Structure 1
Amino acid sequence: MPLQSSQNVNIKPTVYHILFLISLVHLFNDSIQSVIPAIFPILKKSMHLTYTQIGWIGFTINFTASILQPVFGWYTDKRPSPYLLPLGMASTCLGMLCLAFAPSYLFVLLAVVLVGIGSAVFHPESSRVSYMAAGSRRGLAQSIFQVGGNAGQSLAPLMTYFIFIPLGQFGAIWFTLVAGIALFIQLFIARWYQESLLTRSRPLKKKNTSSPGHDRLKKTLYIAMFLLIFLVFARTWYLTGISTYYQFYLMEQYKISLQQSQIYIFLFLLSGAIGTFFGGPLADRFGMRNIICFSMLGSAPLALLLPYTDPFWAYVICLVNGFILLSSFSVTVVYAQQLFPGKIGTVSGLIVGLAFGMGAVGAVALGKCIDFFGLSPVMQFLAFLPLLGLLTFFLPSDQKVKEWTQETQQTA
């Protein structure tokens, strides 16, 4: 009983204004990052790019924005750096400026790298801010934080429709203003973050103990994390394939306009953002592993139907499938954090960063395959990816993860 009361004393209240601010900046950050796929049709036409070159632009933004996240997460786990947040947004602002005036394909890649670095800095440190502001409501806090990002991603088709089709590549200049507003908010968050670090008492470090049982548990945790990363990769590969190439499939297969094709992608991504928000409460009720399983296998039948359905039912499938597929978005992050408590930046970088970056590699492969085999066969192949959700049954149950967490905390 004394231990329990001591734990309750250490639980801090949920700081909602920080959570909503960091979610707003997440929306700004990911909407800016979504400018890159939104401008693909414009760049393909104006610079006469191949699908492979489009895939390399997608790879570049995801490699820098995603695969570098675990690196920044590992560094900031050891040395939290509040003012990296506004510095990262400054890099994003510069990237948008370069993209607006990019005269060539290589210059576009340089601009994309700057945007990607800013995003790679943002995500691990912002996940830490969300964790620190969560108090006892970590699932809710993660949902609030992540829904901002997914809402920002869903704006890509609207940006194509309202900004890049009428204004062309130069439309990217407007997002320097968005980055400037985000930078100002980041300065406020960074001050709160720094004050929280100064007032937070540091726990005494215990000596690590090594035993055969502890080593076996550690190995099991790494296997579970590897499997989770692979599942997120499969989900992201499908997500990237739909958000990047399905618009071209619609225009080729059904002869619809670029403007009309954006509505399908918008519905898919918007419903995904809604699914992200509701995924946390659903996981609280039905379990994290169950929601991860449902998000993959529940979307599989609809994914298999999508390449063969008519334009009307494609609207319905995009709307429903986006919700189902991304209902596990925030859940996978919380699940990973429970596997490795105390490594918030690294874990967030691995799940939101590395696994998404691996999805970007898949986008390059899809682009190359489309150039070689054509759009239809590749979209039909893409539809089978959610079936990899069968591997979810090999993830440890929620109860087992809690037991492991308690064991690792006792032996750490």
Structure 2
Amino acid sequence: MKIIQQRTAASGVVAAESGQTVFPILLALSFSHLLNDTMQSLIPSIYPMVKDSFQLSFSQIGLITFTFQVSASILQPLVGLYTDKRPQPYALAIGMCFTLLGLVSLSLADSFHIVLLSVGLIGIGSAVFHPEASRVAHMASGGRHGMAQSLFQVGGNAGSSLGPLLAAMILLPYGRFQIIWFSLVALLAIFILSVVGNWYKANMDRSTKKSADVTHQAVKLPTRTVVFSVGILLLLIFSKYIYMASISSYFTFYLIHKFGVSIQNSQIYLFAFLFSVAAGTFIGGPVGDRIGRKYVIWISILGVAPFALALPYVNLFWTGVLSCVIGLILSSAFSAILVYAQELIPGKVGMIAGLFFGFAFGIGGIGSALLGNLADKTSIEYVFNVCSFLPLIGLITGFLPNLEKKKTA
């Protein structure tokens, strides 16, 4: 382990000094994100099992998602704000320890309340991981911030897509207790993040100086413009993640109820959607670096509207096709939104990452709870009809300032 750490740190310092992208660190972060989100994605993947085991309503299923995502969302901006002032190189590995505890507890849970406690612990691990990992990705980007964030994000989305597949292969046939084997995945992530922490520690001084230089050189926008723009970005996150919550939490139930597919086959459809999300994630960052993030945001969220509006009215085959198209287009938005926000408020990488990751988790959790309640009062098909209009909120992207023009002016 020491040899790996020394080589990674040495190559990272050389790359950091020359302004090059530190790909070993970015790849380590992306793989850690894959491991982290694979473990997190087990939560919605076991909903059909948990619903039957504890005789839960859709509202209680929504409460599980709410507990997980709100425990993550409340802490993330605070973690980011704190570490902007006092960087913590080994916080990533420590946060993963909470995820480890949550997995063990979830595998042994014998009541609904223990399930809530377990997903809350996993949420705390997520709250520490995302803002700090996003900061390290920014440090290792070599100036290619969009590419770095997309590479980081694609690992997470790939991990999210694996959860339903692993649930169909391991958990559904053999039972929820098999989650305990995923504690080995958490241990692997802790090891990798400890190595990343060593690189982080060796480059903290250089990163602080570079952040100060970027802040000094950044184009200053009026405070009113910045606040208004952040508000628009948060509304776009609202649109994206409420819609994503409808699919990640309830797509399996929708397929089972409307088309009569089996639980295992419904997990395959969910995997296909989440895999398309992972495949599309890498597009937003590099394309945003080239043509401007505002245009990527516009295309990603508003462009998905025709497919989302059509989804509730098609047969099973086209439901699978359209869900994949939706995932592919919609997934490019987050990296572009996050980097756009970091350019709006330079020098606050951790705080912005924490705010936007936290808001995304929180609004997804609240949305899941509300949609579950709506499904109980109406039907799961009605939920998908209502959510199909959410991407139209993408129209407000036109009010965002064009930062690229301001930089070149």
**Normalising by the residue count of structure 1, what TM-score does the alignment of the two structures yield?**
0.90
Structure 2 distance, partners of 1:268, 1:88, is: 28
Cα distance per residue 1:39-69 (max 9 Å; x no partner):
1111001111110000000011111123321
Contact 1:68 1:354 in 2 (8 A): no
Q: Report deviation, 1:330.
A: 1.1
Q: Report deviation, 1:167.
A: 1.9
Q: 2:164 aligns with which of 146, 154, 157?
A: 157
Q: 1:343 aligns with which of 344, 348, 351?
A: 348
Q: 1:302 aligns with which of 298, 303, 307?
A: 307
Q: 2:45 aligns with which of 38, 41, 51?
A: 38
**Structure 1 residues 196, 205: CA separation in 2 closer, same or farther (over 3 Å shift)?**
closer
Contact 1:34 1:153 in 2 (8 A): yes
SS, match of residue 369 in structure 1: helix
Equivalent runs, 1:183-332 vs 2, <5 Å: 183-198=190-205, 202=209, 217-332=222-337
**Structure 1 residues 350, 201: CA separation in 2 closer, same or farther (over 3 Å shift)?**
closer
Percent sequence identity is 48
Question: Is the deviation greater in 371-380 or in 190-199?
Answer: 190-199
Structure 1 distance, partners of 2:292, 2:309, is: 26
**1:369 alignment counterpart:** 374
Contact 2:34 2:156 in 1 (8 A): yes
Cα distance per residue 1:129-173 (max 9 Å; x no partner):
111111122221111111111111111220221122112211211
Unaligned runs of 5+ in 2: 1-15
Contact 1:34 1:156 in 2 (8 A): yes
Q: Report deviation, 1:378.
A: 1.4
**Structure 1 residues 101, 310: CA separation in 2 closer, same or farther (over 3 Å shift)?**
same
Cα distance per residue 1:77-127 (max 9 Å; x no partner):
111001111110111101100000001000011111111101100111111
**AA aligned opposite 1:29:** N
Q: 2:180 aligns with which of 173, 177, 199?
A: 173
Q: Report deviation, 1:331.
A: 1.0
Contact 1:55 1:364 in 2 (8 A): yes
**TM superposition outliers: structure 1 runs of 4+ over 3 Å:** 198-206, 400-403
SS, match of residue 135 in structure 1: coil
Contact 1:279 1:327 in 2 (8 A): yes
SS, match of residue 134 in structure 1: coil
Contact 1:11 1:136 in 2 (8 A): no
Q: Report deviation, 1:355.
A: 2.8
Question: Is the deviation greater in 44-53 or in 164-173?
Answer: 164-173
**Structure 1 residues 387, 205: CA separation in 2 closer, same or farther (over 3 Å shift)?**
closer
Question: What is the RMSD computed on CA atoms of the aligned residues?
Answer: 2.2
Structure 1 distance, partners of 2:261, 2:142, is: 49
Q: How many residues align?
A: 391
**2:91 alignment counterpart:** 84
**Structure 1 residues 194, 380: CA separation in 2 closer, same or farther (over 3 Å shift)?**
same
2:395 matches 1:390: yes
Unaligned runs of 5+ in 1: 1-8, 407-412
**2:147 alignment counterpart:** 140
Structure 1 distance, partners of 2:125, 2:406, is: 33
**1:125 alignment counterpart:** 132
Question: Is the deviation greater in 288-297 or in 113-122?
Answer: 288-297
Contact 2:302 2:391 in 1 (8 A): yes
**AA aligned opposite 1:259:** Q
**1:409 alignment counterpart:** none
**1:59 alignment counterpart:** 66
**AA aligned opposite 1:328:** A
Contact 1:276 1:327 in 2 (8 A): yes
**Structure 1 residues 203, 300: CA separation in 2 closer, same or farther (over 3 Å shift)?**
closer
2:116 matches 1:109: yes
Structure 1 distance, partners of 2:46, 2:157, is: 18
